[in-house]
Every structure is written in structure tokens, then in C-alpha cells.
């Protein structure tokens, strides 16, 4: 099994954004010794919940601190940027860290409308998202870009190897685009699991081999929290669960609450409904239960890689969860 980490650099109410970024660096260095295959960082804007707004900068630092893992974006929000600029940023990263860079591409803006306008005043329409992906892929090719409008433009620096790029999504539309273009597909179950089966079916059904990929290849991103006991895991997950309800029911822009606040909270009916939906897609408990459930997911959904998202109040508990999973599911000796 190939296990990956998606780190959103969560900000906890008892800590700072600087703490979150430095915890990301600590976790990446540890994960490199545990046997994790990829380490991706996220992009979020105008939020008190996550500290990473610039994955292209953060992943460069992570790559310099690690030796073995692939590192990348999970993902770059391409609707906000010039495809040429992103192509050149990731060509530079590939030059610095050959055969270790991933470019995960998302179409969403990852921000509220006002923040989106501030980031990109002349933003193209949402329907143009796939067109921007095509343009970027043209710039990333080893040979000259072949798009009609930009055939005279060459992204620099020239490189012998290319970053590995993925289409990220939570819908059959993103799955179909990845399939039609012969690209690997990462489904964000931890964001919205409603269309998971339909999206994966669409991807496998319509996949067309390309010069980049001969057969379908899928990574599933899941919220996971493992502990020594089920009781401990259920307590540790409470911070994340309260954040989910406050964010998606009440629209609050907040850091992740402390466990004491979460344990004292009384959920109303709307909050309970959202929480139950979230729990159906999350995997948490003692490490034996979690490992078994993850193995079942891999088998039942025919995915090639699992990408793990873990958020709780204390960094040591989050690190321990990743350690337990590595020990249970990976062959790499633990240090």
C-alpha cells in the first residue's frame, strides 16, 4: 500500500499560524523516515483555520528537508493564476528536486468571492477552469507548447524530467476530465464524499491512455485519526468535528477549537446532521480498526494510493496517528 499525507497546516486556537507552518515542516521530516510516499500541502486563503496559502513556496522548503518522499501541491488553485506562471514555478521546483515534485491541480478558488477578486481581479469564469489546465499541461511538456494561442511561448527553465501532475476533485466532472486526458485522479473524500463512487466509476469507465499514463490511477484522500484505543481516538477527533459544524453550519471563520471547548459543546439538530455525514466518510479509532477499514477502502474502491488528512489539537497526537498507520500498513522499518 502507498500512503500519502495531505497537510493543510491547521491552526489550533491554542497556537499560532507560525506554529502551524513549523509543525508542517516537523511532520514532513518525520514522514520521510516512516515510509510515506507523497507529502502534499494545501492552498487556502483568507482563513483562520489553515496557514498555508502558498504551496509552491512551502513545498520547496519541505523538499529541502526530506530525501525520499515526493512532495507537491494538493493543490494549486489554477483558476486564480496564470498557467504559464504555475508551469514555470513547478519547472523550477523540478530543476531543484528532480523526480520528486507533484503538481496537483484544482479548479476551485478556495476562497470567498471577495478574496477571489482580490487574488485575481480579472478572473476568468469558472467554466474556463479545464481550459486553464489544458494550457498549463501544454506549457509543462518537454517540447514546445502546442496550444494554438500560445505556441510561441516556452516555459522556463528547460528540464529533462517533468513534475507529476494530478487532477484533484470531488465530482464526476473532474473525474471525466482526468479520464479523457489520461491523467491520475485524486478524489477528496474528506471534503465531500457524496459523489465518490460515481466519480471513480466515471474515471475508470472513460479513461483514455496517454503518453503520461497507460492505465487509470487513483488516490483517495480520507480524514483519518488513529490512536492506541478507540476511546482516545474519539476524544482526539472532537476538535475537528466541532470545527466542521461551526464552519459548514454557521459559516464561522475560526481556528480549530481546543478539545475542552469541543467536549463542552452541545450539538443542535443541524449540527448533528452535518456531523453524521462527515463521520460516514471519516475513519478513526484504534489503529487495528483504522488499518482494517483503510484496507477495505482500497479493495472496494480499487484505489492505488491513500492520502491521509489528520487534524487534532496537539501536534504530538497527530504525529502519533501517522506513526501508528505507518507501522500497521507500511513495510518500511520505523525509526
Q: State yes or no: pLDDT of 212 exceeds 80.
A: yes
For the whole model, what pTM was predicted? 0.92
Number of domains comprising the chain: 2
CATH number reported for the structural domain that contains residue 199 in this entry = 3.20.20.30
* 26, 119: one domain: yes
Four-residue CA torsion sign, 275, 279, 282, 285: positive
Find how far residue 199's CA is from the centre of its chain: 17
On whether residue 231 sits in a domain, the answer given is no
* 158, 118: one domain: yes
What does the pLDDT average to over 312-326? 98
Task: Convert 15-75 into a string of H (helix), E (strand) and C (coil).
Answer: CCHHHHHHHHHHHHHHHHHHCCCEEEECCCCCCCCECCCCHHHHHHHHHHHCCCCEEEEEE
* 148, 103: one domain: yes
Burial class (CB in 10 A: 0-12, 13-18, 19+), 251: exposed
* 159, 252: one domain: no
On whether residue 27 sits in a domain, the answer given is yes
* 152, 248: one domain: no
- Lowest pLDDT segment from 102-111, 141-150, 189-198: 141-150
pLDDT tens digits for 10-63? 999 989 999 999 999 999 999 999 999 999 999 999 999 999 999 999 999 999
* 88, 182: one domain: yes
* 129, 24: one domain: yes
* 26, 99: one domain: yes
On whether residue 334 sits in a domain, the answer given is no
Task: Convert 162-189 into a string of H (helix), E (strand) and C (coil).
Answer: CCEEEEEECCHHHHHHHHHCCCCEEEEC
* 154, 47: one domain: yes
* 252, 191: one domain: no
* 154, 258: one domain: no
For residue 255, what are the domain limits?
A: 238-281
- Lowest pLDDT segment from 110-119, 159-168, 180-189: 110-119
* 277, 307: one domain: no
Grid coordinates belonging to 80 = 486564480
d(CA 65, CA 100): 13
Amino acid at each position: 500500500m502507498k500512503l500519502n499525507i495531505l497537510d493543510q497546516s491547521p491552526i489550533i486556537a491554542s497556537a499560532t499560524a507560525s506554529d502551524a507552518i513549523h509543525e508542517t515542516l516537523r511532520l514532513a521530516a518525520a514522514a520521510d523516515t516512516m515510509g510515506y510516499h507523497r507529502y502534499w500541502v494545501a492552498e487556502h486563503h483568507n482563513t483562520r483555520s489553515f496557514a498555508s496559502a502558498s504551496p509552491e513556496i512551502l513545498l520547496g522548503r519541505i523538499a529541502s528537508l526530506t530525501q525520499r518522499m515526493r512532495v507537491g501541491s494538493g493543490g494549486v488553485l489554477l483558476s486564480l493564476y496564470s498557467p504559464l506562471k504555475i508551469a514555470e514555478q513547478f519547472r523550477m521546483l523540478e530543476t531543484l528536486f528532480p523526480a520528486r515534485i507533484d503538481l496537483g491541480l484544482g479548479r476551485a478558488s478556495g476562497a470567498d468571492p471577495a478574496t477571489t477578486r482580490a487574488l485575481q481581479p480579472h478572473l476568468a469564469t469558472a467554466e474556463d477552469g479545464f481550459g486553464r489546465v489544458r494550457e498549463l499541461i501544454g506549457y509543462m511538456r518537454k517540447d514546445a507548447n502546442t496550444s494554438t494561442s500560445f505556441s510561441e511561448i516556452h516555459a522556463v527553465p528547460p528540464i529533462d524530467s517533468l513534475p507529476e501532475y494530478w487532477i484533484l476533485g470531488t465530482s464526476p466532472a473532474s473525474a471525466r476530465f482526468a479520464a479523457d486526458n489520461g491523467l491520475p485522479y485524486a478524489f477528496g473524500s474528506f471534503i465531500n464524499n457524496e459523489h465518490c463512487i460515481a466519480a471513480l466509476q466515471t474515471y475508470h469507465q472513460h479513461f483514455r491512455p496517454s503518453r503520461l499514463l497507460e492505465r487509470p490511477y487513483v488516490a483517495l484522500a480520507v480524514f483519518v485519526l488513529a490512536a492506541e484505543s478507540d476511546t482516545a481516538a474519539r476524544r482526539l477527533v472532537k476538535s475537528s468535528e466541532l470545527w466542521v459544524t461551526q464552519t459548514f453550519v454557521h459559516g464561522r471563520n475560526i481556528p480549530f477549537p481546543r478539545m475542552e471547548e469541543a467536549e463542552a459543546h452541545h450539538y443542535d439538530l443541524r449540527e448533528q446532521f452535518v456531523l453524521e455525514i462527515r463521520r460516514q466518510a471519516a475513519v478513526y479509532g484504534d489503529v487495528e480498526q483504522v488499518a482494517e477499514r483503510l484496507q477495505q477502502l482500497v479493495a472496494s474502491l480499487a484505489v492505488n494510493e491513500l492520502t491521509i488528512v489528520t487534524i487534532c489539537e496537539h501536534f504530538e497526537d497527530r504525529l502519533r496517528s501517522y506513526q501508528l498507520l505507518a507501522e500497521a500498513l507500511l513495510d518500511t522499518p520505523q525509526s
